Structure 1
Amino acid sequence: MNVQAVKTLPDAQTVTSVNHWTDTLFSFRVSRPKSLRFRSGEFVMIGLLKDDGKPLLRAYSIASPSWDEELEFYSIKVPNGPLTSRLQKIEEGDEIILRPKPVGTLVLDALLPGKRLWMICTGTGVAPFASLLRDPETYEAYDQVILAHTCRTKAELAYGAALAKALPDDPLIGELVGDKLHYYPTTTREPSANEGRISDHIRSGEVFEKLGLPQWNAAEDRIMICGSMALNKDIMSLCEAQGLTEGANSNPAEFVVEKAFVD
């Protein structure tokens, strides 16, 4: 890819690998600024230079854990998207712009202590959870961790499925993961073992029955939400119906939702 040189910018980082999961989804890893400190689950601004030399930046969750020496990102490909139409063409050795000022609400600090942590997402909303699922602190804080990922097709679930499958055997944190991790994928436009929106599976009780877990309660369950506006609102209402309240970095509670990626 012929990306305009950005070596003169202090925020330039080198692409170390790219993985195209489907025609519409890809992940990539880049070098990590030595000065960057972040909490697993946070996001940063990344992008490329436009033809006029000005940076075009968008918010992207860091999919790698806080201890990783590199940074991983997971992205959708939008054919006519100002950034992703070009970002999807990056190759190893290319450079992107990264502004090292991490923020976000999907962090363990924003939740009160609990027994079970539910991570509920659609599409590329799985990215911040990919970070948290690879962080030892997540398994030290909770007895059970549930990743509930909804996509249109089974192919779009591949990134999260690969992660969930690999974690128990991970040489660094596999022992901590053990049997704590539960993976619950659902599809909305293709037949699968779990068809339909995750919100419908929660509402009907099907997800609890299949996983052998109790219904949500404010004393034990903590929920993280990252997806479309429709998903966010739906899951928030389900949380509130069970007596869970929304938390934040400054005021931890029972559930948190990332709103930075929703129009």
Structure 2
Amino acid sequence: MDAALEAEIQQKHTAETILAMRRWTDKLISFRLTRPAAYRFAAGQFARLGLPLEQGGQVWRAYSMCSAEHDDFLDFYSIVVPEGQFSSRLARLQPGGQVMLDKRAMGFFQADRLPDGRDLWLLATGTGIAPYLSILQQPEVWRRFERIALVHCVRETAELSFQDEIAALRDHPLWHEHGHKLQYLPVATRDAPAGMLGQRIPALLDNGELAARAGMAMTPEHSRFMLCGNPKMVEDTHRQLMKMGYRMTRQNAPGHIVLENGW
């Protein structure tokens, strides 16, 4: 590589160390990196992470932060694609290994883009739950809304990661007086046990089961939505919500929905 190009790349990223690696399933991992003292992000944003290639150069992927804005580390959640150029390499790393981190956080998937409302719906599929774990560590989110529903839809129940961490959010000392506001609604489309929701999120919105299970009637006046996950879920859910009378938030036109594609 040209020396000038190499120097330019190094100015744009830092090399961070893996502090912990957790394997939830053979296809899902979470990992913790060191955090540069100067690194800043807003809950809901994503980082660009890079790994070197054997033949030279790097491969980069975007990952939403799971950690809080104030944490002195950075947490991420990833699907492992067996032949994937990035994730398969990442999954083989151990604590002590290194990952490149772009110095700038990116994205506009933040709760403060939504106008005030009574109910906040956080709708996710798969690893799309990651930014909500960060967003739910903002005290102002708990104060702004009277009720919060975190909906995590997966194919199989083994993929319902972070259940203990979600439960612990209710008792966090910074917002424990508001902890009762949170409902966690898991959904498994292939092996849901009796009593668990088992359809895709758009269908659960359409037939009213999601609102009924949460005990939270959905109305444009009171309901605000964040969507994150695979593009098909985001597209179909957005379309369904529009049929129900909701609209996207724009820069100069506050609405009811903000969205992010998980990949």
TM score, norm. by length of structure 2: 0.90
Q: Give the equivalent residue in structure 2 for 1:240.
A: 242
5+ residue gaps in structure 2? 1-8
Tell me the distance in 1 between the aligned counterparts of 2:111 and 2:161. Answer: 25
**1:124 aligns to 2:116 (yes or no):** no
Q: What letter corresponds to residue 120 of structure 1 in structure 2?
A: L
Secondary structure at the residue paired with 2:199? coil
- Do the aligned partners of 2:126 and 2:153 also contact (CA within 8 Å) in 1? yes
Deviation at 1:251, TM superposition (A): 4.9
Distance 1:71 1:248, change over 3 A: farther
Q: 2:68 aligns with which of 65, 70, 76?
A: 65
Deviation at 1:253, TM superposition (A): 2.3
Q: What letter corresponds to residue 214 of structure 2 in structure 1?
A: L
Distance 1:156 1:199, change over 3 A: same
Residues 1-263 of structure 1: pairs in structure 2 closer than 5 A: 9=10, 10-159=13-162, 161-170=163-172, 172-173=173-174, 175-192=176-193, 193-214=196-217, 216-248=218-250, 251-259=253-261, 261-262=262-263
Q: Give the equivalent residue in structure 2 for 1:3.
A: none
- Do the aligned partners of 1:121 and 1:149 also contact (CA within 8 Å) in 2? yes
Q: Give the equivalent residue in structure 1 for 2:3.
A: none
Superimposed CA distance per residue, residues 43-93 of structure 1 (whole angstroms, 9 cap, x where no aligned partner): 010021111342211011011121111100000011100000100112111
Superimposed CA distance per residue, residues 128-153 of structure 1 (whole angstroms, 9 cap, x where no aligned partner): 11111122121022111111110011
Tell me the distance in 2 between the aligned counterparts of 1:92 and 1:41. Answer: 25
Tell me the distance in 2 between the aligned counterparts of 1:220 and 1:54. Answer: 49
Deviation at 1:177, TM superposition (A): 4.0
Q: What letter corresponds to residue 98 of structure 2 in structure 1?
A: E
Tell me the distance in 1 between the aligned counterparts of 2:106 and 2:64. Answer: 9
- Do the aligned partners of 1:167 and 1:177 also contact (CA within 8 Å) in 2? no
5+ residue gaps in structure 1? 1-7
Secondary structure at the residue paired with 1:60? strand
Tell me the distance in 1 between the aligned counterparts of 2:103 and 2:241. Answer: 33
Tell me the distance in 1 between the aligned counterparts of 2:103 and 2:253. Answer: 24
Using the aligned pairs only, state the percent identity: 33
Secondary structure at the residue paired with 1:21? strand
- Do the aligned partners of 1:16 and 1:92 also contact (CA within 8 Å) in 2? yes
RMSD: 1.8
Deviation at 1:100, TM superposition (A): 2.3
Distance 1:78 1:242, change over 3 A: same
Count of aligned residue pairs for this structure pair: 251
Deviation at 1:168, TM superposition (A): 1.6
Worse overlay, 125-134 or 101-110: 101-110
Tell me the distance in 2 between the aligned counterparts of 1:176 and 1:121. Answer: 25
Distance 1:113 1:189, change over 3 A: same
